[in-house]
Amino acid sequence: MLIDHSKPIRTEPVSLRRFAELTGLSLDLLRTYCLQGRILGARKHVLTKQWWIYPPAKIVPSQKRW
């Protein structure tokens, strides 16, 4: 896999809505992942109670096996 060095590395947090647009996942699913602690880099703002995703973010796979 080649790394595109022309794009700057994102260092500021993004809202959960923007993260949903970037990943293609639904907002409700990502909100559930945040509550379960499955998104590394997700933090809930103390005053606004909204989720923010801080880079480098990663979605952790579920530990459940059917």
Give per-residue pLDDT as tens, 9-40: 667 899 999 999 999 999 999 999 999 999 99
Predicted TM-score (pTM) of the model is 0.75
Domain count, the chain: 1
Whether 64 is covered by a domain: the verdict is: no
Owning domain of residue 55: 14-59
Neighbours of 20 (CB within 10 A): 18
Per-residue pLDDT at 62: 78
DSSP for 10-31, written as a single string: P-S-EEHHHHHHHHT--HHHHH
Whether 53 is covered by a domain: the verdict is: yes
